[in-house]
Chains A and B, each alone.
Chain A
Amino acid sequence: GEDVEQSLFLSVREGDSSVINCTYTDSSSTYLYWYKQEPGAGLQLLTYIFSNMDMKQDQRLTVLLNKKDKHLSLRIADTQTGDSAIYFCAEVPGGYQKVTFGIGTKLQVIP
């Protein structure tokens, strides 16, 4: 079955780059998403990438996809304290199946 794995915690200094990693198992995944969750709130869609792409950039966010290794990463440039949150990776398998989320990576930004 499908599975999405993420590390639980990442700590970076303000101004540095953050890289949050995710691995998935379903090779038929068509879309991969990154969501951000701040305390007391729901999940906010940050960006997504189609599986035929290697990279997608959106302002400070860069998504890299290595389809061969089933590895997805989210790079946040010039990380700010407002970026402190939990980041979820999610995949949509081929055909219609439910979206599968990782457990979330808690990003702590140290001023």
Chain B
Amino acid sequence: KAGVTQTPRYLIKTRGQQVTLSCSPISGHRSVSWYQQTPGQGLQFLFEYFSETQRNKGNFPGRFSGRQFSNSRSEMNVSTLELGDSALYLCASSLGPGQGNQPQHFGDGTRLSIL
């Protein structure tokens, strides 16, 4: 069974641009969560989607948005990029929300660098 796939693996952008990151969950998983990982802040929760609906949102500005498609694939978008958006963006999938005995499985992330 294929794991969580994130594309692209690496991305370089300049300030002011926008970017879209993609995540394909494990087959059968319907919940997708996104995290931002930076050395100083650790793992920061961005948002979670289940059945194409955003169920939970972290404390990030409106420049960060996401969506989920009917096949459970998810995308996140960051507009008007800032230097501080440079980070590893991780996607995790699980069977569904609230199922603690079905933990999240992570992709290898997209490394975003802003110049």
Contact = CB atoms under 8 A, between A and B. Distances in A.
Nearest to A41: B108
A42 B104 contact: no
Contact of B109 (A42, A88, A99): A42
Interface of A: 30-31, 33, 35, 40-45, 48, 50, 88, 92, 95-104
Contacts, number: 55
User: B interface, by DSSP: helix, strand, loop or mixed?
Assistant: strand
Interface stretch (B60-68, B69-77, B95-103): B95-103
B92 to A, nearest CB: 8
A45 B98 contact: no
B55 to A, nearest CB: 8
A101 B103 contact: no
Q: What 5 A-B pairs are tightest by C-beta distance, nearest first?
A: A31-B100, A96-B98, A42-B106, A103-B42, A92-B100
B42 A98 contact: no
Nearest to A6: B42
A96 B103 contact: no
Contacts of A92: 100, 103
B25 interface: no
Contacts of A100: 45
Interface in B79-111: 90, 92, 97-98, 100-101, 103-109
A88 B103 CA distance: 14
Contacts of A35: 106
A98 B109 contact: no
Given A40-B108, A42-B90, A42-B106, A101 B101 contact: no
B4 A42 contact: yes
B42 A99 contact: no
B108 A98 contact: no
Contact of A45 (B42, B45, B100, B103): B103
